[in-house]
Each structure stands twice: as structure tokens, then as C-alpha cells.
Structure 1
Amino acid sequence: MKKFNVLIVEDSKPILALHKNLVTRAGFNPITAETLEQVKLLEPRFPEFFCAIIDYSLPDAPNGEAIAYLLARNVPGIVMTGMIDDETRNNILQLPVIDYITKENKQAYPYLQHLLEKLRVNHLTKILVVGESQDTRNHLKDLLERHNYHVIQARCGAAAIEELEKHPQIKLVITEKEMANMDGLELCNQIRSKYSKDEISIIGLSEDNNQSLTAKFIKNGANDFLTTPFCLEEFYCRVLQNIEYIENIAIIQRQANTDYLTGLFNRRYFFEQVSPIIKRRYIDGINSTLAMIDIDYFKSVNDTYGHDAGDVVLKSIAKLMQRHFSPNYLAARVGGEEFCIFLDTTSRNQAIMLLDDFRKDIENMLVDIGIGSGKNTITCTISIGITHGCDSSFDEIMIKADELLYDAKDSGRNMVIAD
């Protein structure tokens, strides 16, 4: 059962209103209680709660009693408090809470919203924990699972490499230094021989407080290092920072490689990916298949209905193209109304069948361009040129496909022509 409710336990009405707002913005439904007594009345609904945001001091529970009550009943808790003394902080961090946030911090509320947003999707993030000690691995697993991460364990460096091959979605590796056969430093080297820092982050761990160890880990490919035992808050911050680094790089790469309007790959990325494949196929004596596609009379769509309508047509065709050809083939928008699909080693006849099915679906598609207050639909067609052969030059293959495309246009449009 998906849990979309977040319990807010707070006696200050202004802060309660603020929490309700940020919980809603994070995509959850806020349920509120202002006292421990009100919390107890909600106990039948505890299985519905994704987590709770708990004020440390309540009128009928001034010393964190609400925290212990909810944690004991398996409601994950984020503690918010105005008390900033070390004793209170240490007492809270001894409990299996998700996090501890002080209200006086100006970044407390943006941080809380961001934390909720991450907790919602962290189950999609895989973290590999490596170390000889089962107790240490289990402790790290417990800490990470409080934040809903998907945790995989490996007892040695060789096992870690195997897990990385089995789980290519792993974003973070946390490894101890002290391991037999392959220590943490060598594991870093092994990982970096296959994966860049843009693909996987590594955090090294060691009980050794030698100051040079941080540098050794980083020089051997790690992104970060922590001395154990570590501060729990620091651990979570380092984990989050390293994962978000990988995620941000992926966002930048995706934005650089895709067409902003259609979401298809752009011309540059398409050329970079396809050109070396075609060269390899030529060396191996294997034919490659490439299709050029152009929207028929697209200029008249823009002239008649406006460029916004033209954009809707482009996006509609791109969406159908993704449905037909992703993820098996590489499709891109290479010009204004021009698209290109690389079908690699697909046979000529199979490519003609695939592209003609696509052409027919485009012909039968109604595109709602939404002019004014009413709904207005238009239809469109496409012309397609397909080349199938063994050439060493990507440019030559593109030229052939383009010539075939214009043969299709000269022959009446709305058709597929192949060499």
C-alpha cells in the first residue's frame, strides 16, 4: 500500500500551518495533531503514515515522549525542535529517527521539504555497502534504510565488483578500508577502471584517524571519506550530497543530449552515438539501417495555425515515435521537422515494415492543437527514406537516407522509400 499521509505533531499553530504547506508541496497529505493525546487517538491510522514530523516538546509531552511513542509503533519520525543544547541533540540521535532538525535554523524548512521529497523516491536509489564485518554492514544498512534507500551488501572487494555488474543502477558505494585480499583503496581503483565519478560515487570508511587517509582515498578514486565512528548527521549529509552529485550530472547530461521540445535525443548526441557504431559495423562487414523522416507540409501548419500548433504536432509525433521505437532503437530530432532513427542491424524488410506501421499510425492520428476555447484537431503525414548497407562513413549514410526521403516527397509524400 502506498502511503501518502504525513503526520505533523506540533503545538505551534504558525509552525503547524508552515509544515502543512511544505508537506503538501512535497506531494503528501498532511494529518495533524497538537498533543500526545491527539496522537494516541490517531493510532488506528498509524499504518497509513509515510512518516511523522514530531515536535520535541508538547504541552502534555515536554521531554520527547511523543517521539518514543511513535517510533515504538513503527511510525518513522523526523524530529523538529527549538531546543539546541547538545544533551537534547545526543538523546534524540540515540533513537532510530530519520533526522533531527532545529527550528531556529533558517534553512530548516527548505531542508525539511527537500528531505520529504527525497524520502519519497529514495527506494529507487541503490547503495552498495562493502565490508568484512557483518555487524558494521548491518548497522550501515539500518541507517540507510531509515532514509528508504535500497541497500545491497558485499563482504569483500571481489564481491563488490560482482554486485556492481549485477546492479548497474548503483549510485553510491560505501566501503571500509580494512579488508583482506582487496582493501578499500584497491576497490576504489577497480571501480574507477570501469566507472567514472559521474556514474558512481564512493565514500571510504576507516577507524584509522590518520589524516593522510582521506587524501589516499580521494587520490585512489573516492569522492569522500568518513572516520568511524561518525556523526550520524554528517553521515546522512555526505550520503545525500554524493548521491545528488550523480543525479545532477545525469540531469545535465540529459539536458545536453535531448531536444528541449520533444524529449528525443538531439542531433549532436545522435551523431556521437551512431557514427562509431557504423564504423564498427563496416569493419565487421555488417549492414546498418538508418531512416530519415520529415513531416509533410509542416510549414503550412505553422502558417495556418501558428507555431504553438506546430510545436504540438512535433511533440505528438515524437511521443508516438518513442512508443514505436524506444528503447530498442535510437531516435532523434535532427532539424526543424526532421527526425532520424538508427535501427542498427535491422534487416531492410523489417525496417520497411516498422517504419510503414509508424507512418500509418501518424496518418490516423488526430492532433488536438487547442486553438481558442474550443478543441481543434488536425491530421498530418510523414515521408520516410530508409537506407540499408555497409558504409564506413556516417555522413554518407545520412546523405543516402536524405536522398531517399526526398524521393518519397517527390513521389507524392506520405510514403516509405528504401534503397
Structure 2
Amino acid sequence: MKKEISNETKEQVFKLNARNRLDDLLKVAKSLRPVDSNVEQMILKEVSELKSEAKILGLTEFTHIASLVEKMGDANEMIPFYMKRLVVIALEELLEQVRHTHDIQKRLPKVHDQTLIEALREDHRQGGPKSMLIVDSDLLFLNRVAAILSEAGFMVEKANNGTDALRKVLDKSFDCLVINYEIYDTNGADFLSDLSEVMTHSLLPIVIIYNDEVIQTQVDSKKILADDTFVKQIELDPLLLSVQRIIARNERMKQQVYIDELTGAYTRRFFLEQLESLYKQENSKQEESTIAIIDLDFFKRVNDTYGHTVGDEVLKTFARFMQSHVREQDVFARYGGEEFILLFPGIDSKTAEKQLNQLREIFSKQKIAVSDDVDITQTFSCGIVEIKNEQLEVMTPTELLNDADIALYEAKKAGRNQVLVYHEGMQAKNHKYKILIADDDKLMRTKLFKQLAKGNWELLLATNGEEALSIAVSEQPQLILLDGWMPKLDGFQALQKLREDVQFKDTAIIMLTGNDSYEDIAQALNMGADDYVTKPFSIIELEARMNRLLIRKDLR
């Protein structure tokens, strides 16, 4: 009588057989080349057969991992070469399953303190859910971490390679990015470098995860820019706490950088980021939009007659008025001083002109209390430029802003309290401005002087902050390019002294620095800088920004 083989024996035989087959498959997978289509299909077929056998034996963990490998290709398609690392990882995990009997669930990350999950969920219920992007080539780890973060109330998206991750970041705004340093189609340093090139203005917190402490030590010595770093571990409590803390800190920073403290409108920085984002979308959507620059008429008279407290109240009243009348998708920002800027996505200039004229008439009749028995009214002028499809490849966003400034200048010349749309017949004021370049770097001074000398400028040079102040007093430049870090008196100290002197209250000042710290940017803008440019920068863009500031100066 034939003795029946027990399930336990069948499982042992299967594991022994699978171990040998997987050893061979791993050797093949590690040497894969893009043209090895037959070999790739052989791997998929072998794994599929092992999966079928494991399913009969009830080996659910093995079956689950094998299914992941199957999803990487089918009977008619090759496994993309960039997914090679994923195949190797999955095969190694399958081999781990047949070599050891312990449950894979015991090796997956988890949260030790469940009250942490509940606390995070409550935070998201009160403050709104935060969005996360998790990037890791280890699909088991990726799925597990994503599941835990989702349970904690985060809105989670996943990517298993750098290419997909970069596309997702460009397509959508996230509150935090968690990325494994060793994703298979790139590494963390290269990914962050690519990210910085396409997101020069973004405040995106980044957490890096290393596979082991050796790699962490090696990479940390290279000073990779990240908000926090972790080594892969079973308990995710520290990671969850760090992510929540970093997002909260970033929200506070955004309030400082993106929201104007006085008026509650967006800042110029936020507006420019939104404009650049829309500008990219326009290339594919072919949808016209409009930019409007608004200036409160004779605002200096308000400050001189009633004081800056009343002037501030006028600015706040106007901001509240505009915020209550624009659409949710419109971007209304304070451009600086008494100037504001408005982006109308999907609206042409004719429609925008009609809407702004209606708002101009309504606001001009609104009473603003100066005292218990005195009310005043305020008007505004506006310049409009339409973002036309044919302009997108030949004009930068900054050049479009210059055209809106020119239209505003024409509205002021025509008597104020009106809205004008830019056309090619409009010209900026022809005037040779004095420009002071203050930079201790001789190479940078020489470069700026040679490039800007081609334009209609009278150029002055200073090598330190004290010299810059002295030249400013004697020459009265209309615009100052001020390096952030200089000997004797640094750029921030010079900026403060300039703004404290009433004769430089309206002088246009652009900070030039190699430090792109958001804290420094916020500090410079809060101290009175009109603009902030980080090195290296495009001379063409710098000139465009200088023109814009000088046009605005002419309007005062």
C-alpha cells in the first residue's frame, strides 16, 4: 500500500526545490540586460509555477510576494530594465521565505504605540489631512509604511522609482516626501539634485531613509540636504513623529514666506511660484490666462496726511475687499508696498478687464474710517497682460510681469483710477537709472558690470556694506543690488540701515546671495528687500526683475 505524503513533508520538499530554483533565478536576474527578453520571461514563468505550488500548500506569504513579481510583466511584455532591482529584491524575499519558517509579518515595520496613530488621526481631523509621497524600491516596505501612514490619517501616494516619484512631485503638491536613499534607478543625492532643478521655489520637507547605518554614515558626511534621516527599522514611531513635526514646522514657515503679515494676502513669492506652475501647464492646456498688477492711487498722501496706521488700514481693507470678490482659483497677492498682483487662471484679458473695472467702481465708493467723524475713499489703477499661447515659448513669466507693469504705468500717466490692457504700442519710461552693485566678490562684480553695462544703466560699484552705504548717500541710486554676505557690514545690516533712512524708503533693493535658506529669504523680505535672487542666476532674468522694480518706482 502506497504511503500518503504528509502536507508537512510536501512543504519541506517544495521549499528545498524552490530554494535551488530561486538561487539560480537570482543569479540570472542580477545579470539581466535590456535585450534578455527570453530570460526575463523565463523568470516570470518560473515564479508563476512556484506561486501555483505554494498556493496549493497554503503558503500565503510566498504566494503574495510571487504575485508582486508577476505584476512586473506579462506573457507579451518584457520586464523593463529599470525594474531589474525590483525583481532582485522580490526574488531575495522569496528565497528568505523558503529558507526560514518565520512569518514575514514579524519582519515588516509596525507602530509600537497605537495611541500615536490615534493622536495623528485626530490632528488631521482638526487641521485637515496632510499629503505624503513615499518612495522605496522595496515593495513590501513601501506598501506597509503607506498603509500605516494612511491609518494615521495621511493622504499617501507611492512610487517605487525616482522617475515616477519626480513626475508625481511635479504633478501634485505634497506636504512631505519620504524617500529611500537607494531607489534602484537613481540614488537620493541625484534625485534631490534633479528635484532642486525643477522646483527652485518649493518648500517641500524631505525625509531620507537608509537601508543600514553604514550607508547613513557615508552619505551624511556628504551633507545631503534633508529635514531628517532614519535607518530602516521595525518600529515606525520615530518616523511618524518626525514627519508630523516637520510638516507642522513647514506650515509655520509657509505662513511666514507665503502669507503677507499685514494684509493676509499671499506674498509675491507665492504668486511667482503659482505663475511658474501655471506657465508650465499652459503649454499643454492651451488655455489663456491673465495677470493684473494693481496700485493704490496717491497712497503716499494717505500716509503723509493720516499716518501709517491709517495707511495700513487702507491696505488691509483693500485686501479683504479683493479676497471677497475673486474666485477660489485666483491668486491675489501683495506685490510690495501699496501694490498688489492678481492671477486669473483661464480668463482672457477682456473678461479680466471688465471684472476689474467693476471692482474698481465698487471699491472707489467704499468708505474707510479714518477716525470717528472722518471717512476717506480710495481708488486704484491697474495694468493687465494676457498670457497668450504664442508667447509661452518666447517670453518668460518675468517678462510678462514687466508688460503688466508698463500697462500700469500707462494707466497712471493717463490720470489713474482706470484699468488698461497691455499692447505692443506701450513703452516703458526711457530713463538712465543709477544702479549700485555691492558685492565683495570681484569676479561677481566684474561679471555684473560687464553684462549690465550693455543696458541703459549708470553703474556704481561697492566692495563692502559700509562702502555701499557711503555711495548710496552721495549718489542716490534708484536700485541697489546688495550681496547678503560682505565684510565690515553684511548685506542684511546694510539693508536695515538703508530702510531706516527716510531717503532710501522707496529705493528698489534686490538681495544677491548664494544662500537659498528660506529663513534668510523671509528675513530679507521682512527687512524691506524688494526681491531676492540666489546665485548662480540668469543675467537676463535679473535684468527683467530690475526693470520691473524700476517701472514700479516711476509709478510712485
TM-score when normalising by structure 2 = 0.41
What is the aligned counterpart of 1:382 among 361, 379, 382? 379
Q: List aligned pairs for 1:344-383, cutoff 5 A.
A: 349-365=350-366, 369=369, 380-383=377-380
- Deviations along 1:93-139, whole A, 9 cap, x unmatched? 64633169xxxxxxxxxxx9xx7984445653211122344432233
Instruction: Report what 1:332 is aligned to.
Output: 334
Pairwise CA distance, 1:405: 2.1
Q: Retained in 1: the 8 A contact 2:265–2:319?
A: yes
Q: Retained in 2: the 8 A contact 1:385–1:408?
A: no
Matched residue of 1:124: which SS?
Answer: coil
Q: List aligned pairs for 1:15-414, cutoff 5 A.
A: 94=112, 96-98=114-116, 118-120=123-125, 123-175=128-180, 177=182, 179-182=183-186, 186-195=190-199, 199-210=203-214, 212-216=215-219, 219=222, 221-254=225-258, 258=260, 260-264=261-265, 291-295=293-297, 299=301, 311-324=312-325, 327-328=329-330, 331-332=333-334, 334-336=336-338, 339=340, 349-365=350-366, 369=369, 380-384=377-381, 386=383, 398=405, 401-409=408-416
Q: Retained in 2: the 8 A contact 1:130–1:175?
A: yes
Change (3 A) 1:299 1:117: farther
Matched residue of 1:97: which SS?
Answer: helix
Matched residue of 2:381: which SS?
Answer: strand
Pairwise CA distance, 1:171: 1.9
Q: Within 2, Cα distance between the matches of 1:408 and 1:379?
A: 19
Provide the aligned C-alpha RMSD in A: 5.1
- Deviations along 1:180-226, whole A, 9 cap, x unmatched? 4445565445444434696333333344332x434426745544332
Aligned partner letter, 2:116: I
Change (3 A) 1:215 1:348: same
Pairwise CA distance, 1:235: 2.1
- Deviations along 1:325-376, whole A, 9 cap, x unmatched? 565466535435x545577998764453232111122145465x4966xxx9
Pairwise CA distance, 1:267: 7.3
Change (3 A) 1:215 1:127: farther
Larger gyration radius, structure 1 or structure 2: 2
Q: Within 2, Cα distance between the matches of 1:385 and 1:198?
A: 29
Change (3 A) 1:138 1:331: closer
Q: Within 2, Cα distance between the matches of 1:311 and 1:359?
A: 19
Q: Within 2, Cα distance between the matches of 1:243 and 1:175?
A: 18
TM-score when normalising by structure 1 = 0.51
Q: Within 2, Cα distance between the matches of 1:157 and 1:169?
A: 16
Q: Give the number of equivalent residue pairs.
A: 292
Q: Within 1, Cα distance between the matches of 2:295 and 2:402?
A: 16
Matched residue of 2:133: which SS?
Answer: strand
Q: Within 1, Cα distance between the matches of 2:404 and 2:332?
A: 15
Aligned partner letter, 2:414: D
Q: Within 1, Cα distance between the matches of 2:170 and 2:273?
A: 25
Change (3 A) 1:377 1:125: farther
As a proportion of its length, which structure holds more helix?
2
Aligned partner letter, 2:334: A
Pairwise CA distance, 1:153: 1.7
Q: Within 2, Cα distance between the matches of 1:268 and 1:222?
A: 22
Q: Within 1, Cα distance between the matches of 2:341 and 2:187?
A: 48
Change (3 A) 1:271 1:407: farther
Pairwise CA distance, 1:229: 1.8
Matched residue of 2:209: which SS?
Answer: strand
- Deviations along 1:252-308, whole A, 9 cap, x unmatched? 3225xx3x3223356798899999x9xxxxxxxx9x97554335789579968x865
Q: Within 1, Cα distance between the matches of 2:165 and 2:404?
A: 43
Q: Structure 2 unaligned runs (5+)? A: 1-109, 279-287, 427-556
Q: Within 2, Cα distance between the matches of 1:274 and 1:128?
A: 24
Q: Retained in 1: the 8 A contact 2:265–2:332?
A: no
Instruction: Report what 2:69 is aligned to.
Output: none
Q: Within 1, Cα distance between the matches of 2:350 and 2:132?
A: 45
Q: Structure 1 unaligned runs (5+)? A: 1-91, 101-111, 278-285
Q: Within 1, Cα distance between the matches of 2:156 and 2:269?
A: 37
How high is the sequence identity, in percent, across the aligned residues? 19
Pairwise CA distance, 1:234: 2.2
Change (3 A) 1:252 1:221: same
Pairwise CA distance, 1:244: 3.8
Q: Retained in 2: the 8 A contact 1:334–1:340?
A: no
Q: Within 1, Cα distance between the matches of 2:332 and 2:413?
A: 22
Q: Within 2, Cα distance between the matches of 1:98 and 1:262?
A: 37
Q: Within 2, Cα distance between the matches of 1:261 and 1:303?
A: 20
Q: Within 1, Cα distance between the matches of 2:272 and 2:138?
A: 48
